[in-house]
Amino acid sequence: MDGFMIIALVHQVLASHKRSDNGFTSFQISKVIESVKHMCRVVVSDKNVRARLKTLKKEYAEVSQLLSISGFGWDAETGRITVDLLAWENLVKEKPDFQKMEEQTVSSL
């Protein structure tokens, strides 16, 4: 469902060139809700879309931060970050919050 929602959000940005100060307008969110309902046969609310968007932004920031570190790369085929084991262990010692990303795939990026 994330993939369809992201596509719908991108479509809204490209179609209207309008955004509110805090991201997407209510109209754009309603169009995303319609798209998700049509493509996934799942009913989501405005709150669901905005909450998921907030989570995706946070995850994107974390992945971007990792990719900015020397030695970290991206494998588009697997949707995973690539890194030498020693570099990963050193990072996790410094920043334990990144441990959760060890087995995580990021297919939406």
What integer pLDDT is reported at residue 106 of this predicted model?
66
Please tell me the pTM assigned to this model: 0.75
What integer pLDDT is reported at residue 35 of this predicted model?
94
79 and 38 Cβ atoms separated by less than 8 Å: no
Cα→Cα distances 10→3, 7, 13, 24, 43, Å: 11, 5, 5, 11, 20
Residues 50-86: b if buried by 16+ CB within 10 A, e if exposed: eebbeebeebeebbeebeeeeebeeeeeeebbebeee
The tens digit of pLDDT for each residue in 67-87 reads 999 889 988 888 888 899 898
Using the predicted structure, report yes or no on whether residue 20 has a pLDDT greater than 80.
no
The tens digit of pLDDT for each residue in 29-46 reads 999 999 999 999 999 999
